[in-house]
Amino acid sequence: MIRRRDLAGLAALAGTAALPMRARAAEERLVLELKDGQVTIQFLPDVAPKHVERIKALVGRGFYDGTPFHRVIEGFMAQGGDPTGTGTGGARDAGFPDLPAEFTNKYRFIRGTCGMARSQNPNSANSQFFIMFAPAPSLDGQYTIWGRVVAGMDVVDKIKRGAGGSGMVQGPDRLIRARLVTA
């Protein structure tokens, strides 16, 4: 369910190509179970097919279950997908190489956008992802967009924040379980 305050961000997209809004028949979605409820994410395979397939493969292996939201910055984003919680881990040890960038200038990083984290190397995305709390135009065309929150943004808003400029979280909230559902 999209709440009124989430619609304000979506309404700002009118006339722009922020994110595809068309409905699809029987599409897979990602459900994240967090301490305060569920978050449903619509995949955007037309935008980032390799990244969407990677997320699905990792979810299928239970990779994300129990992982922390290790870097959370108020007014910016919540980052997870690193089992070490240090910001340097990923799925490389499980045989998943880094992914080539699938950047786009057509879509924007707004509230609810899901992107892939990476190092300075544009082709270094692996398993870490982030969910935007607010628009960040500086990320547009620089990071891969692979999905968008379609329900549960109020749950994302409750993720424990980090301190300082790095946003690293002491005693972080954890992603309890990630699963694929057909919508």
**pLDDT tens-digit readout, 125-137:** 999 999 999 999 9
User: Among candidates 36, 126, 118, which has minimal Cα distance to 83?
Assistant: 126
- Hey, what amino acid is at 61? R
Cα 155 from Cα 133, distance rounded (Å): 11
Tell me, what DSSP letter sits at residue 136? Answer: -
> Does pLDDT of 169 surpass 60?
yes
Determine phi and psi for 40, rounding to 5 degrees: -110, 130
Paired with 168 in beta bridges are 71
Cα 74 from Cα 133, distance rounded (Å): 8
Give the pLDDT of residue 65: 98
Q: pLDDT band at residue 5, thresholds of 50, 70 and 90?
A: very low
Cα 107 from Cα 66, distance rounded (Å): 30
Query: Hey, what are 44's tokens?
Result: 């955007």
> Does pLDDT of 51 surpass 80?
yes
Is the CB of residue 117 less than 8 Å from the CB of residue 153?
A: no
Q: 3-state class of 183 per DSSP? A: coil
What are the pLDDT digits (tens) for 103-155?
998 899 999 999 999 999 999 999 999 999 999 999 999 999 999 999 999 99
Q: How many helices (H) and strands (E) does the chain have?
A: 3, 8
Give the pLDDT of residue 73: 98
> Does pLDDT of 83 surpass 80?
yes
Give the pLDDT of residue 25: 54
> pTM of this prediction?
0.87
Q: pLDDT band at residue 26, thresholds of 50, 70 and 90?
A: confident
> 2-11, 157-166, 173-182: which has the minimum mean pLDDT?
2-11
Cα 167 from Cα 114, distance rounded (Å): 18
Q: pLDDT band at residue 22, thresholds of 50, 70 and 90?
A: low
Q: pLDDT band at residue 16, thresholds of 50, 70 and 90?
A: very low
Q: For the chain, which residues make up each domain, given as ranges?
A: 4-11+28-169
Query: Hey, what are 107's tokens?
Result: 């879509």
DSSP string, 76-105: TEEEE--TTSSSS--SGGGT-PPBPP---S
Q: What is the CATH number of domain 4-11+28-169?
A: 2.40.100.10
> Does pLDDT of 91 surpass 90?
yes
Paired with 174 in beta bridges are 68
Q: Which residue has the tokens 């909230």?
A: 173
- Report the Cα–Cα distance between both ends of the chain, in Å, rounded: 13
Average the pLDDT over 59-85 and give the result: 98
